[in-house]
């Protein structure tokens, strides 16, 4: 967990991380937990109220970006040579 949030883990934080880990199975649960903690830290840093709804919505956007940035499975890697 992020050091700034080490003592702040709550049941809503844990529930959010568990829900998102179940939704984003290809991403390791530890990465999902770290994403949720990072989003909470960023929201707090910006002076906003870190409600579970905001944390989940922003973390879901970040995790979706991680999934979409992965190359499709089985796609051949192209080299700079001739085809």
Count other C-beta atoms under 10 Å from residue 2's C-beta.
14
Residue 47 covered by a domain? yes
Give yes or no for residue 7 having a pLDDT over 50.
Answer: no
Q: Is residue 51 part of a domain?
A: yes
Tens of pLDDT, residues 10-61: 788 899 999 999 999 999 999 999 999 999 999 999 999 999 999 999 999 9
Give residue 59's pLDDT. Answer: 98
Residue pLDDT, tens place only, 50-59: 999 999 999 9
Exposure string over 27-60, b if 16+ CB within 10 A, otherwise e: beeeebbebbbbbbbebeeeeeebebeebbebbb
Residue at 56 is within a domain? yes
Q: Give the range of the structural domain holding residue 49, as residue numbers without chain letter.
A: 16-68
Residue 53's Cβ-side half-sphere holds a number of Cα atoms within 13 Å equal to: 1
């Amino acid at each position: 967990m992020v050091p700034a949030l080490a003592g702040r883990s709550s049941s809503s934080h844990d529930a959010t991380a568990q829900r998102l880990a179940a939704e984003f199975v290809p991403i390791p649960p530890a990465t999902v937990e770290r994403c949720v903690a990072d989003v909470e830290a960023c929201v707090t840093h910006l002076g906003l109220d870190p409600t579970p709804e905001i944390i989940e919505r922003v973390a879901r956007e970040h995790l979706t970006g991680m999934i979409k940035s992965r190359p499709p499975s089985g796609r051949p890697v192209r080299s700079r040579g001739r085809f």
